Chain A
């Protein structure tokens, strides 16, 4: 084993529970367990933590980074720089080292040699091969197991408790004592080697807190899947696509556990992997029409393929739920990177005059809540409901409050039963707007009453669902659909508003939330007080207009290139267009607080287009 050269301890101020770890590995090398061990151990030490997997679009071999933010203050946004680098990928070693800030620290296998070692960072070479040899790790497992070396090393140098590590391994590999032991032994060996050999020169450490008590660690896609299950979802049709696949996999994992009829053992759900996205939404159309609570999960390219059926379902007024876990498009784009670039395409998805209800969850708890609420909304409004999440929220692990059980019974909307039809004298008008909500009554196939059936069609129709090409009937129908859209404003999730009384308002949506929360603190320190509104649904609730009206300047922060949320706000509220500034940015990575804060200040000082002299 090599002995690192002793280095005098730098007289630095200790930094406790406030830094970011960047783990650089090779995709497919099995670092998932090691990274999850670190995150879980920190979480169970009561320290707020957030983890992001920045991974390439391939199976094996390309560079991947795992970013763990440790924040005693509870911030969970991505940071632009990590102070602690685990450099286990030879191909990115030099670049990763170059990006390390002064005062940072690097852990790396001693057989990898940085071409330009730095004096202004702490460098800890680890005897990875020697430890693997000592532990007699089978050659075929060596690549995977060597990642446990950095777990043990970080534990020793940063102060992560080995008991917390063992606890995670025991839970994750329950019943597999040998697997637990082989992983733990390597971590332990690395821990002991560091204790004996590493002279700590970096300032970073962790200390047990109690800021995570009662909280859970979960990703948004699992949360969405659980929400759907508690929402009474009965039919799932899906087609694999990153980053939406794990939502379907969550359903596949949890539905059999939670949704078997205790008496018959039958599944109270159907999950079908369809042949493509067109078929997936087609199955939802059939299932929704026939009365099931049907959903799919997809991403941008799938959304495009679903366009025709989306418009059909909007016009025929069939409830269904589509989760759009957004990634960087168009087409393949950056398939494993995050974006909020599908807002406009989802809102207006399809041909003709189509406007959908879109829910915009910003936390795993909201993924759960919108998971069940989406079905209630879809059935109440008799329309497709889209839930636009994204890769960052969907696939990464977040700290969350435990999910709240649905606070109301399942709501099936205006469904007439056979006795209702009889009471109505044997007929009903499927698309007649009796109460001004734009929503008519419907019957389900099988309604055993003469006059209970109707014919669903994508062609023009009267309010009694009979075929019509009459211009007046067409207009009447579209005006009613507009009324329904207006009605939706009052029933979709209201925005979340923070602060009050500031002259500047920030507006955001979805997974930019943690960045906004922290950016507001940074702006506050810089002397700019802000209020914030997070939009949680389209169409906008009345509160959105009121918020803009109440603020002299509004900055809309979003993760796309064109400022799609700002475009919608300016379109809906043209009278306020000049006070709406746009901070729109997307490079595939979640927005950091520092970036948001800087860009908000720029936006407020930059001249508006109309102020620029001709």
Chain B
């Protein structure tokens, strides 16, 4: 006699983890991007997001294929190279109720899309912007991206003579309110950061080093698994506590920074021996600059500032999404047209 199958665990939305799954991945086995997709599934499940209220967006590249691999029940759009930010901007203007999750790569964001990325951040479009950063173009089989290491060598392209862009620094300079870096191999940290980013009310940028197992997993690459494992220096242990969960502080309160997000959720950052304040913009930039010289892969929540209004707020948009406004709100009256015409008579 077999034991009855255990019903799957349900989250606060009454959904099982299966409800957050995507299509089977077509990326290379072992790709860091697939780990990130799994973390997105974890985070969305744990937060109890309703999939239909999520919009998933991407540009072009290996990373940009990944929205197909999570949240099948969410609307998705795979756009053009480097220009997902503008599409996300328009989508969030139309449907401000949604949780927008954009997935991009370092080529998509740092090269062709750097302009749109900076302006997306500058506009504070409320969304989570994930950069799956492997320092290389995978879909075109191994060319340097703008985050590739200086001096790095690739088989067909030769040596990279140029310094990399630090996309976290670019985001902070452009005015981002939530900037984090992580490593695809650090499942717990990625999940907690994702949950905090989703709960954040403005633009949240997550730069996740995600090794390319096929083209950029050499020992001399700072985007390889080996390098990430050896050089990752977490700034803090991060714990995300949704507002409905009991807050358990299981370590010395003196070592914990607790940040309350707008919806009542809390991010707890337990320091790991470093005196780091994620509320300091200059401190975050200094940290990134220093880590570049020491070769550390500093991970965690680098910068947090909740003060800036989001784009829908700045534009004084109504609570009801623009896409759903009824005709009587979007077509002025016949009498109003007569008034306008009188002004031109």
Question: What residues make up the interface of A, taking CB atoms closer than 8 Å to B?
Answer: 214-218, 226, 229-235, 237, 254, 258-259, 261, 264-272, 274-276, 278-294, 308-309, 312, 316, 402-403, 405-406, 409-410, 443-450, 452-459, 467
Q: Are A292 and B73 in contact, CB atoms less than 8 angstroms apart?
A: no
Q: How far is the CA of A458 from the CA of B95 in the complex (A)?
A: 22
With A230-B331, A272-B311 given, name 15 new contacts (CB 8 A).
Answer: A234-B323, A270-B322, A282-B116, A283-B93, A286-B57, A286-B87, A287-B90, A287-B93, A290-B55, A293-B330, A402-B344, A403-B341, A449-B52, A456-B75, A457-B78
Q: Can you list 10 A-B contacts (CB < 8 A)?
A: A230-B331, A259-B330, A259-B332, A264-B319, A270-B322, A282-B85, A290-B323, A294-B90, A454-B76, A455-B77
Contact present for B318 and A261 (CB under 8 Å): yes
A267 to B86, Cβ gap below 8 A? no
Are B90 and A456 interface neighbours, CB within 8 A?
no
Q: List chain A residues, Cβ under 8 A from B294.
A: none
The answer to whether B72 and A453 have CB atoms under 8 Å apart is yes
The residues of A that contact B336 with a CB separation of less than 8 Å are 258
What CA separation (Å) do A214 and B338 show in the bound complex? 12
Q: How far is the CB of B42 from chain A (nearest CB, A)?
A: 20
Residue in contact with B325 in the complex, picked from A234, A282, A444, CB distance below 8 Å: A234
User: Does any Cβ of A come within 8 Å of B80's Cβ?
Assistant: yes
The reply on B257 being an interface residue by CB < 8 A is no
Cα of A421 to Cα of B312 in the assembled complex, Å: 30
Contacts of B5 in A (CB 8 A): none
- How many whole Å from B181's CB to the nearest CB in chain A? 25
Task: Please give me the residue from chain A that is nearest to B93 by CB atom.
Answer: A270
Per-position 1/0 for B318-335, Cβ under 8 A of A: 110111110101111010
Minimal beta-carbon separation of A43 from chain B (angstroms):
9
Q: Given A282-B116, A290-B55, A458-B79, do A232 and B331 touch, yes or no (CB 8 Å)? A: yes
With an 8 A cutoff between CB atoms, is B163 at the interface? no
Q: Does B187 contact A (CB under 8 A)?
A: no
**A230-B331, A402-B345, A453-B75 given as contacts; is B316 within 8 A of A287 (CB)?**
no
With CB as the reference atom, state the residue of chain A lying closest to B335. Answer: A405
Contacts of A217 in B (CB 8 A): 344-345
A308 to B87, CA, bound (A): 13
Instruction: Judge whether B288 is part of the interface by a CB distance below 8 angstroms.
Output: no
How far is it, in angstroms, between the C-alpha of A290 and the C-alpha of B86 when the chains are bound? 13
Instruction: Say if the beta carbon of B261 comes within 8 Å of chain A.
Output: no
Q: Is the interface of B mostly helix, strand, loop or mixed?
A: helix
The residue that A282 contacts in the complex, of B79, B324, B338, with Cβ under 8 A, is B79
B-side interface residues, number (CB < 8 Å): 60
Complex contact B323–A275 (CB within 8 A): no
Residues of A within 8 A of B116 (CB): 275, 278-279, 282
In the complex, chain B residues whose CB is within 8 Å of the CB of A446 = 52-53, 75, 95, 97-98, 321, 324
CA gap between A288 and B95 in the complex, in Å: 10
Asked if B317 and A270 make an inter-chain contact with CB atoms under 8 angstroms apart, the answer reads yes
- Can you list the 8 inter-chain pairs with the closest CB atoms, starting with the nearest? A282-B86, A286-B90, A291-B323, A287-B90, A283-B90, A292-B94, A290-B94, A286-B91
* A444 and B323 contact, Cβ closer than 8 Å, known pairs A231-B331, A312-B80: yes
A-chain residues with CB within 8 Å of residue B115 when the two chains form the complex: 275-276, 279
- Asked if residues A234 and B94 are in contact (CB atoms below 8 Å), the reply is yes
Distance in angstroms between the alpha carbons of A215 and B319 in the assembled complex: 40
Q: Which of A226, A234, A281 has the most CB of B within 10 A?
A: A234
B-side contacts of A452, CB under 8 Å: 52
Complex interface residues of chain B between 65 and 106 (CB less than 8 A to chain A): 67-68, 72-80, 83, 85-95, 97-98
The distance in angstroms between the C-alpha atoms of A267 and B314, with both chains bound, is 11
CA distance A452 to B331 in the complex (A): 28
Measured in the bound complex, the distance between the Cα atoms of B345 and A218 in whole Å is 9
Q: Which one, B95, B312, B330, B340, contacts A444 given CB within 8 A?
A: B95
A283 to B52, Cβ gap below 8 A?
no
Given contacts A283-B89, A452-B52, A453-B76, contact A278 B83 (CB under 8 A): yes
With A276-B115, A286-B89, A292-B322: A266-B317 Cβ-Cβ less than 8 Å = yes
What is the CA–CA distance of A454 and B93 in the complex, to the nearest angstrom?
20
Chain B contacts for A259, CB-based, 8 A: 330, 332
When chains A and B are docked, how far (Å) is the Cα of A237 from the Cα of B116? 14
Decide if B51 is an interface residue (CB 8 Å cutoff): yes
Interface string of B39-67 (1 = CB under 8 A from A): 00000000000111101010000000001
Chain A, residue nearest B123 (CB): A272
Q: How far is it, in angstroms, between the C-alpha of A293 and the C-alpha of B86 when the chains are bound?
A: 16
Residues of A near B330 (CB, < 8 A) are 232-234, 259, 268-269, 293, 410
B315 interface residue (CB < 8 Å to A): yes
In the complex, A280→B337 CA distance in Å? 28
Question: Which residues on B sit within 8 Å (CB–CB) of A455?
Answer: 67-68, 75-78
Given contacts A231-B331, A267-B318, A453-B51, are A288 and B76 in contact (CB under 8 A)?
no
**Counting CB contacts under 8 A, is B308 at the interface?**
no
Known: A455-B78, A457-B78. A270 touches B52 (CB 8 A): no
**A405 pairs with B337, CB closer than 8 A:** yes
Are A409 and B79 interface neighbours, CB within 8 A?
no
Specify which chain A residues have a CB less than 8 angstroms from the CB of B88 in the assembled complex.
286
B residues in contact with A214, CB < 8 Å: 345
Say whether A467 contacts B68, CB under 8 Å: yes
B218 in the interface (beta carbon within 8 A): no
Bound complex: CA of A261 vs CA of B114, how far in Å? 36
- Tell me the nearest residue of chain A to B60, going by C-beta: A458
Contact partner of A216 (CB less than 8 A), chosen from B57, B95, B316, B344, is: B344
CB contact under 8 A between A268 and B90, given known A291-B95, A312-B80, A455-B77: no
Shortest CB-to-CB span from A208 to chain B, Å, is 17
Q: Does B119 contact A (CB under 8 A)?
A: yes
Complex interface: chain A residues within 8 A of B76 (CB): 453-456
Q: Which residues of B contact A402 (CB under 8 A)?
A: 338, 341, 344-345
Please measure, in the bound complex, the distance between the C-alpha atom of A290 and the C-alpha atom of B119, giving whole angstroms.
20
B327 touches A232 (CB 8 A): yes
